[in-house]
């Protein structure tokens, strides 16, 4: 019995014309389950070691962003004061930097004093503004930090002019 290879379908045809099962072993490429599991374990270990450091830096960056935004808002409030003669009232708040207030001093308003809308803090909450003669700046301007609650330490500390 003589075997001849026919077509590209790995089947063999004998001299009688009948088809037999392929006896040629086909090499399969790819990764075994063990290899995939080893890679996943290594990636999990790396994520466990590197992840907290990266996310810790993200939280620190949010605090620095809040500090920078507070300073930017302070500069806008000071420009407002130079034009109008006083800081915005607590009722007008930071919106007076973007929209002309209804107060009698609004005739001197030369705004808007911000390029866009009043920004939210890095945690998605509005900044707190209060006009006060007792404040060192003439106003209080702050955010409650990551936890959104007054006071706190570290990442949860209030950011801005609170005294």
More confident site: 13 or 83: 83
**Confidence (pLDDT) at 100:** 87
Q: Please compute the mean of the pLDDT values over residues 15-31 and round it to a whole number.
A: 60
Given pLDDT bands bounded at 50, 70 and 90, which one contains residue 15?
low
Q: Which of 61, 72, 57, 92 is nearest to 160 (CA)?
A: 72
Q: Please compute the mean of the pLDDT values over residues 40-57 and round it to a whole number.
A: 82
More confident site: 2 or 40: 40
Q: Please compute the mean of the pLDDT values over residues 39-64 and round it to a whole number.
A: 83
Q: Please compute the mean of the pLDDT values over residues 151-157 and round it to a whole number.
A: 82
**Confidence (pLDDT) at 26:** 60
CA distances from 91 to 102, 120, 136 (A): 11, 18, 20
In this predicted model, what pLDDT tens digit does every residue of 94-123 receive, in sequence order?
Answer: 998 998 888 776 778 887 899 889 999 999
Q: Please compute the mean of the pLDDT values over residues 37-56 and round it to a whole number.
A: 83
Residue 39 has pLDDT above 70, yes or no: yes
**Confidence (pLDDT) at 19:** 52
In this predicted model, what pLDDT tens digit does every residue of 61-99 receive, in sequence order?
Answer: 888 999 999 999 999 999 999 998 889 989 889 998 998
Whole-angstrom distance, CA of residue 156 vs CA of residue 138: 25
Whole-angstrom distance, CA of residue 99 vs CA of residue 94: 9
Q: Which of 19-28, 31-40, 139-148 has the lowest mean pLDDT?
A: 19-28
């Amino acid at each position: 019995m003589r075997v001849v290879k026919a077509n590209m379908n790995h089947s063999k045809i004998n001299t009688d014309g009948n088809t037999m099962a392929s006896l040629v072993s086909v090499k399969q490429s790819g990764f075994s389950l063990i290899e995939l599991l080893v890679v996943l374990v290594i990636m999990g270990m790396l994520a466990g070691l590197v992840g907290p450091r990266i996310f810790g830096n993200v939280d620190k960056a949010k605090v620095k962003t809040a500090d920078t935004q507070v300073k930017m808002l302070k500069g806008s409030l000071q420009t407002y004061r130079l034009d109008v003669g006083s800081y915005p009232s607590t009722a007008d708040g930071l919106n007076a930097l973007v929209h002309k207030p209804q107060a009698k001093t609004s005739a001197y308003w030369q705004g808007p004093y911000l390029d866009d809308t009043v920004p939210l803090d890095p945690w998605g909450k509005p900044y707190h503004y209060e006009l006060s003669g007792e404040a060192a700046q003439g106003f209080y301007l702050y955010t409650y930090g990551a936890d959104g609650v007054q006071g706190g330490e570290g990442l949860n500390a209030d950011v801005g002019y609170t005294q």
